[in-house]
């Protein structure tokens, strides 16, 4: 069962691993975007990631706008200004 009480750092790490194609296991990204979070701020970012999911072509380059949005989410999560 995927954890429902992620910290900002936890969420940032999952997104970073997804972007580097280094997920801890094949379904990590899906578990992340499919599991609502207790913290409403973290859940807002999770939902945004879920909305961006369709922008990634797993056999080619990701959409530049979606990539920039995920990078911005990581920065906000890491900054503490979530």
2-37: pLDDT as tens digits? 789 999 999 999 999 999 989 999 999 999 999 999
**Res 16: pLDDT:** 96
The answer to whether residue 2 sits within a structural domain is no
What's the mean per-residue pLDDT of the chain?
90
Contact 47, 32 (CB under 8 A): no
The answer to whether residue 30 sits within a structural domain is yes
Q: For the chain, how many structural domains are there in total?
A: 1
DSSP per-residue codes, 47-81: HHHHHHGGG--TTSPPPHHHHHHHHHHHHHHHHT-
**Res 72: pLDDT:** 96
Boundaries of domain holding 27: 8-79
Q: With the C-alpha atoms ordered 22, 47, 65, 58, is the resulting torsion angle positive or negative?
A: positive
Structure tokens at 52: 């961006």
Share of the chain above pLDDT 90, in %: 71
The answer to whether residue 37 sits within a structural domain is yes
Mean per-residue pLDDT, 60-80: 89
**Res 80: pLDDT:** 80
How far the first Cα of the chain sits from its last, in Å, is 25
């Amino acid at each position: 069962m995927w954890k429902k009480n992620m910290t900002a750092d936890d969420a940032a790490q999952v997104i970073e691993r997804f972007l580097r194609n280094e997920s801890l296991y094949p379904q990590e990204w899906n578990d992340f975007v499919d599991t609502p979070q207790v913290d409403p701020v973290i859940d807002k970012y999770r939902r945004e990631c879920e909305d961006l999911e369709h922008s990634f072509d797993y056999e080619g380059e990701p959409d530049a706008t979606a990539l920039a949005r995920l990078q911005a989410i990581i920065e906000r999560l890491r900054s503490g200004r979530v």
